[in-house]
Homo-oligomer: A and B are copies of this chain.
Amino acid sequence: MRKYHAEKMNKESAYPYQPWQISENEFLVENNHHNEAIFSLGNGYMGLRGTLEEDYAGSAETTTPGFYINGVYASEEIIYGEEAPSLPRRGQTMINLADWSEINLYINEEKFNMLQGHLTDYIRKLDLKKGVITRSLIWEDRQGRKVKIKIERLISFTRENIAAINYSVQPLNFSGKISIQSAVNGDVSNFYHLRNKKNAQVLQGKVEGKNGILLQKVKSTGFEIGFAVEHILKKMGGAEWKLESRESSNRIDWIFNLNAIEGEEYSISKIVAVNYAERNGEKPLEKARAELAKAAIIGYDGLSSEQTKFMQGYWEDVDIEIKGDPALQQAFRFNSFHILQSTGRNGRTSVAAKGLTGEYYEGHYFWDTETYILPFYIFQRPEVAKNLLLYRYYTLDKAKINARRMRLDGALYPWRTINGNEASGFFMGSTVQYHIDADIAYAIYLYYQVTGDQDFIDNYGLEIFVETARMWASRGSYIEKRNNKFCFNVVCGPDEYKPGVNNNAFTNYMAKFNLEIAAKMAREVKNRSGDKYAKMAERVNLDEDEVANWKQLAEDVYLPFDEELNIIPQDDSFLYKDPIHVDSIPVNELPLVKNWHPLIIWRYQVIKQADVILLMLLLGAKFSQKLKKANYDFYEPKTTHDSSLSPAIYSIIANEIGYAEQSFNYFMQTARLDLDDYNENAYQGVHTACMGGTWLALIQGFGGMRVENGNLYFNPTIPKKWDSYKFRIRYKKSQLEVEVNNKEVSYLLLGGEKINFTHRDQTINLSCSKLSKKIKI
């Protein structure tokens, strides 16, 4: 492990290692910013950062409040340092919307604030089984009045429009006036990226008794967002809430007054429905009202029960048990929970780089989804995987326009986007990464191999194969000096420290794969579903010659290899770049992307993230163990892992070539990246792709799981430190549980049809549900 990474990891966790929760027992302003990401809630549709309900009394540098809706963005003209033809003209930035979570408590006139008075018995926890965040504490105000406060909140996984807070307060040593002020605050701004940070305006705000509505509009894009709120008050011990309310131009407010009696517990539930409309004529407020009405019937407790039930089902599919390492056990559940929270599941949205937990990366979707997150779903919740792929299908037309921009045929998917248009203002960090097309094709084919979902291929997948293959066919050229091989010049692989190079190996191999798979699947669908194929072929103007040409091009793709070093050169120029060893770079200059001018980074043999090594994973069957080892040995000392996408992949290949210690170390660099904030930037939001990478590193690394040509393979190992680990996957029509300990592996067919797979060189058939096979390792 790099010293740099060892140092970063050498810090105490802020959270005790508990199997099913993330908790803190002390409120510290210096942890607040980090906690806002860790205690974020979301359901793929919307997300709320882990801010406190009450007004925050810490400094502005320790908070970035945010409530976001996946797919709702502002847009500004991109200003370039210098113009060039065909650059993207407008950006897209996920916008910070009205904060519906505001609740302030007053004892008499003294406002509850954890940084004043006296705080005891504080505990905040994210309950991973229930999918809620609770905060409980005893607060003594400056007059010595004590209250016990319990707050629970959730964003519903079963009702995408619904969020709720249950707020209860109990005077412990006094009777007297207590007020609760609740609001939906539309006076919010973004903190980063946008030049005009205040991009949403409140069109309408109305208090209707203890209910109310607020309508926001994003000026630059026209999105309208409706909020409907209902407060449900619980009478207790004969006390009554009294209601005052007010409206102002940017917010709606309620004040609930109560003559509280010592020892009684009073509570208020705030149910919020949120809905948005992209087009005029849609009525987001009406929809929100309707959703609210349904949710209010079952109240907070009903919503909470639904949430728990949903989580039970989720954990049945995705839970991984790791015995002997409680830190890791916790991390896996935390990560799986955040992946769930981040994932748009409606076929029109995807997973942003920071999920819905922060503004960084502007809420953009990258190749991260297909390459790092999709396998998590393909093998565990394939119906979600399908919807994520559908997002790419629905934006195919925009990808075609993007290809024309670059004078290419077919479709070129954008490097970063929300709405399907390229939103990057720096083509050397975006458009040049043409491999996005192949990554998407690869993900679709993986989905198909694992699920066998022919309908998806026939109706959607093949068309993406076709248009991406067309892109590659027009992007490459036969180059005489390369023995007339089909080459791809001026591209960039996953390693963003080498943009604009020729014949990036990852790109060439993946392009070849894309061309091959398009040809293969075209034939397959033609044979299987002739009518559908014929219609599609007519619509997209596809003929046999074109399919044949892809096969030929795929055969002719130039596959770089260096005979002298016996490795795959990352690109044509990589071996000729200035030599450097990562350990020679001062730690305070890492990550390089934040410290060195790009032209300096580019001249060195220094790699940001797994590139050839990722290729060794994705198309692993094409490379011998020996070649993998040679490449690992060559590239590992040149890799800074300045991207959180990198260590997981190195861990997997280290595992495969028998580098157990490196494999474990790299694995540990990713699992608790956000929880323990190795990069000191988790406050910006969680690293969703890294979380997916951690899953890959366990299942594909230690589990040794691969899918090749529709066959499933395992080659499990287990780190010395652990007692056992256990995971479940879905494959075709079966669900399989794999448990590995120091002595043996057991495969258990949990349900579904019979399954065949390979354990190392051994073919295993499990033909009946509940049948298991134990094998010594």
Contact = CB atoms under 8 A, between A and B. Distances in A.
Given A482-B576, A500-B500, A502-B573, A424 B597 contact: no
A82 B477 contact: no
B603 A481 contact: no
A279 interface: no
Interface stretch (A153-161, A309-317, A382-390, A428-436): A428-436
Contact of A425 (B81, B477, B489): B81
B572 A80 contact: no
A775 interface: no
Contact of A598 (B84, B195, B429, B598): B84
B425 A428 contact: no
Given A489-B576, A576-B487, A578-B489, A82 B598 contact: no
A602 interface: yes
A561 interface: no
Contacts of A79: 79-81, 195
Residue with the greatest number of chain B CB neighbours at <10 A, chosen from A195, A406, A490, A594: A490
Nearest to A596: B85
A429 B82 contact: yes
Contact of A81 (B81, B85, B482, B579): B81
Nearest to A480: B579
A91 to B, nearest CB: 8
Interface in A54-97: 78-82, 84-87
Contacts of A573: 489, 502, 572-573
A427 B426 CA distance: 12
Nearest to A600: B407
A146 to B, nearest CB: 50
Given A86-B597, A600-B406, A603-B490, A481 B575 contact: yes
A80 B576 contact: no
Contacts of A432: 599
A603 B600 CA distance: 22
Given A86-B597, A597-B427, A490 B579 contact: no
A429 B84 CA distance: 10
Contacts of A427: 597-599
**A interface, over-half SS:** loop
Nearest to A405: B597
Contacts of A234: none
B603 A489 contact: yes
A577 B489 contact: yes
Nearest to A478: B579
A768 to B, nearest CB: 56
Contacts of A426: 80-82, 84
A576 B479 contact: yes
Interface string A552-584: 000000000000000000001101111100000
Contacts of A84: 426, 593, 597-598
A595 interface: yes
Nearest to A562: B481
Interface string A492-507: 0000000010110000
B85 A595 contact: yes
A85 B597 contact: yes
Interface string A413-445: 000000000001111110110000000000000
Nearest to A429: B82
Interface string A589-630: 000011111111011000000000000000000000000000
A192 to B, nearest CB: 11
A577 B81 CA distance: 27
Contacts of A603: 477, 489-490
Contact of A78 (B81, B425, B490, B575): B81
Most interface-central of A487, A575, A578 (chain B CB within 10 A): A578
A342 to B, nearest CB: 23
Given A406-B600, A477-B579, A602-B490, A594 B85 contact: yes
A81 B87 contact: yes
A578 B81 contact: no
A593 B599 CA distance: 21
Interface in A478-537: 479-482, 487, 489-490, 500, 502-503
Interface string A26-39: 00000000000000
Nearest to A434: B599
A577 B575 CA distance: 18
Contacts of A480: 579
Given A78-B81, A576-B489, A579-B480, A596 B502 contact: no
A95 to B, nearest CB: 19
A598 to B, nearest CB: 5
A79 to B, nearest CB: 4
Contacts of A407: 596-597, 600
A50 B502 CA distance: 48
A496 to B, nearest CB: 11
Contacts of A85: 593-597
Given A431-B597, A477-B578, A477-B603, 11 more contacts: A80-B81, A431-B599, A479-B579, A487-B576, A487-B578, A489-B576, A489-B602, A490-B603, A500-B500, A502-B577, A572-B576
21 contacts: A79-B79, A81-B87, A82-B429, A84-B426, A84-B593, A85-B593, A85-B594, A86-B597, A406-B600, A427-B597, A427-B599, A428-B428, A477-B579, A477-B603, A479-B577, A479-B579, A489-B577, A489-B578, A489-B603, A502-B576, A573-B573
Closest 7 CB pairs of A and B: A81-B425, A82-B426, A477-B578, A86-B597, A490-B603, A79-B79, A489-B603
